[in-house]
Structure 1
Amino acid sequence: MTMPTPEARQAALKADPRLDAYFSDEVERRRVTREMFDEAAAGYDEAERWTGLGTGPWYRREVLRRIGLRPGMHILDVAAGTGLVTVAAQGLVGREGRVIALDPSPGMLGELKKKLSVETLEGYAEDIPLPDASVDFISMGYALRHVGDLDRAFAEYFRVLRPGGQVCLMEISRPGSSIGRVLLFGYIRGVVPVLSRIAGSRADVGRLWEYYGDTIDAALEPEPIMSSLRAAGFSDERCPVTFGIFREYLARKPEAGAV
């Protein structure tokens, strides 16, 4: 497969203009999204229980187990939020393992700390405050579309992973069929607000879910993401899809000395 030039790849990775209503540049993106997540943190888990699209505890745990997360491993959960993926990871690595949760929102990390005793780091995927080759596995649950610079983030993933380490990025994407798109966005923009009100969610949680819907609608197609993983040095990259919308971007850092 012909590798796109860095310029072409960066053009493909630029934010969709549909998100201009929220922010105009990367500095504003970070400020606005951090504020949204901080404000929604207290009601996030309750809203997710009512509105989650197949992203319940069983699904998250099963994905990590199937991809290869095992007892004793060291895992970094990027954009951990309130710890929905982190909980599953902790259960799989056990007491001999190590779990690190990274997120830019102190509000979200505060909610995570109420239910989990793991290491937490405040920061972004593009600037991970960890030494080189320090973890065996990197997970990210439904947050890839919030990253401002995928090339930089994947370079950081590659840096902090040990040789042979794996990346598992769970994401929701636009369905390929028009019927699927109508159903998905009808659910997100019509049903989810009703369920959020039933759950007693605050208005700021509803605002965050509206933003979720817009980011899914503006999400990148798989190939630019796979290209960015390859450019960072990853191999064995693949992207299985479940039910037409749940994607798993998977890749591995080559073993030391591998060609």
Structure 2
Amino acid sequence: MANGDSNRIAPHPVLEEYYESPEARRERVDDMFDSSAEHYDWITSVMSFGSGRWYRRQALVRAGVSQGDKVLDVGAGTGVVSLLAQEIVGDKGLVVSLDPSKGMLGEAVKSGVKNATLGLGEALPFPDNTFDYLTMGYALRHVADLKSAFEEYQRILKPGGKILLLEITRPEGKFSTAFLKFYLKGIIPNLAKIFRRSADSKVLMRYYWDTIEQCVPPATIVQALKDTGLQDTHRAVVMGIFSEYTGVKPNKA
């Protein structure tokens, strides 16, 4: 699923229902998130039956995030992971939220995110060897190129630093996939339109499922992490659909 360049790994093919080319993707995706930002937390809370914050916090703890750590949250959206990380690292730590959507970052700041930066995961505006952890919550499907993103993630990590990527993955079984598709592409988008009176949010949530359905296999993501030099790369699966991808930047020789 590369975009014509053998060195690039797109997380999913061009989705022509939403944009016409890889070059048009970024603007279209940003527009969808900007226009739906004020509704996004409500929608995802309903979608997860209110369990999303608990799960994200547990994932951060499992990854080893602790008091005093420096964390970069890429694709931070409305800041759910960032806020949880802020609680864990405390006043002696640092959490920076990065996202390409002004609307989503605005909601994150309203929610209490202390450090928000506009930017892309493939071109991080930070020096080498800055952070102990890099986190990404359900945004991996929205980068343009896994390879360049993972190279940047490793660059800004300190030696021994760790990547934690949270994603929703298409189930292996046909019945499970059909049920999840009905829920995420049918029920949730319509709830967004009815209760939030937002047609844009309905489109975004339909796109949300389509990126899940068309995403490259988990093995491709793990291999891309390995290919950038990360060690101890691993995918843990929770409830059959939640993937936790991890990798560690090698210590200096």
TM bucket (normalised to shorter chain) is over 0.9
For 2:138, the equivalent position in structure 1 comes to 142
1:30 and 2:30 are equivalent in the alignment: no
1:170 to 1:15, Cα distance in 2 relative to 1, 3 A? closer
What residue number does 2:52 align with?
A: 56
Q: Are residues 227 and 129 of structure 1, via their aligned partners in 2, closer, same or farther at CA, if it must alter by over 3 Å?
A: same
2:159 corresponds to which of 151, 160, 163: 163
Tell me, yes or no, if the aligned pair for 2:168 and 2:241 is still in contact at 8 Å: yes
Per the normalisation by structure 1, the TM-score is 0.91
Out of 240, 244, 247, the residue aligned to residue 248 of structure 1 is 244
Report Cα offsets for 1:81-124 as digits up to 9, x if no partner.
00011111111111110000000001110111111142111111
Give distance in 2, aligned partners of 1:117 and 1:54.
20
Deviation of 1:18 after TM superposition, in Å, equals 5.9
1:198-256, CA deviations, whole angstroms, 9 ceiling, x for partnerless residues?
Answer: 53251111111010010001011012111111111100000011111100111000111
Aligned to 1:230: 226
The alpha-carbon distance between structure 1 residues 15 and 164, as it changes in their structure 2 partners (threshold 3 A), is closer
Relative to structure 1, the CA distance from residue 218 to residue 85 in structure 2 (aligned partners, 3 Å threshold; closer, same or farther) is same
Q: CA deviation at 1:167?
A: 0.3
- Aligned partners of 1:54 and 1:175: how far apart in 2? 21
How many angstroms apart in 2 are the aligned matches of 1:233 and 1:7? Answer: 23
Deviation at 1:55, TM superposition (A): 5.6
Unaligned runs of at least 5 residues, structure 2? none
Q: Distance in 2 between matches of 1:24 and 1:158?
A: 31
Q: Aligned residues: percent identity?
A: 40
User: Cα–Cα, structure 1 residues 8 and 230, in superposed 2: closer, same or farther, change >3 Å?
Assistant: farther
One-letter amino acid matched to 1:239: R
Q: Are the aligned partners of 1:130 and 1:160 in contact in 2 as well (CA < 8 Å)?
A: yes
Is 1:175 matched with 2:161? no
Q: Bigger shift: 201-210 or 61-70?
A: 201-210
Q: Distance in 2 between matches of 1:144 and 1:70?
A: 23
> What amino acid does structure 2 have at the position aligned with 1:131?
P
Matched residue type, 2:29: T
What one-letter code is carried by the residue in structure 2 that aligns with 1:42?
E
In 2, Cα distance between the equivalents of 1:33 and 1:86? 21
Change (3 A) 1:32 1:18: closer
SS of the residue aligned with 1:241? strand
Moved more, 25-34 or 232-241: 25-34
**Cα distance, 1:126 vs. partner?**
0.3
The alignment partner of 1:248 has SS state of strand
- State whether residues 83 and 113 of structure 2, in contact with CA within 8 Å, keep that contact through their aligned partners in structure 1: no
Q: Could you say if the C-alpha distance between residues 215 and 55 of structure 1 is closer, same or farther in structure 2, counting changes exceeding 3 Å?
A: farther
Provide the rounded CA distance (Å) in 2 between the counterparts of 1:162 and 1:44: 32
The whole-number CA distance in structure 2 between the counterparts of 1:120 and 1:108 is 10
What's the CA shift for 1:196?
A: 2.1
**What 5-or-longer segments of structure 1 have no aligned partner?**
1-5
Contact 1:50 1:195 (C-alpha < 8 Å) held by counterparts: no
With over 3 angstroms needed to count, the CA separation of the structure-2 counterparts of 1:60 and 1:18, relative to structure 1, is same
- CA 1:230/1:9 → structure 2, altered by over 3 Å: closer, same or farther? farther
Match of 2:72, as an amino acid? L
Closer/same/farther in 2, CA of residues 160 and 16 from structure 1, 3 Å limit:
closer
SS of 1:19's equivalent in the other structure is coil
Count matched residues.
Answer: 252
In the alignment, structure 1 residue 97 sits paired with structure 2 residue 85: no
Residue 107 of structure 1 pairs with residue 103 of structure 2: yes
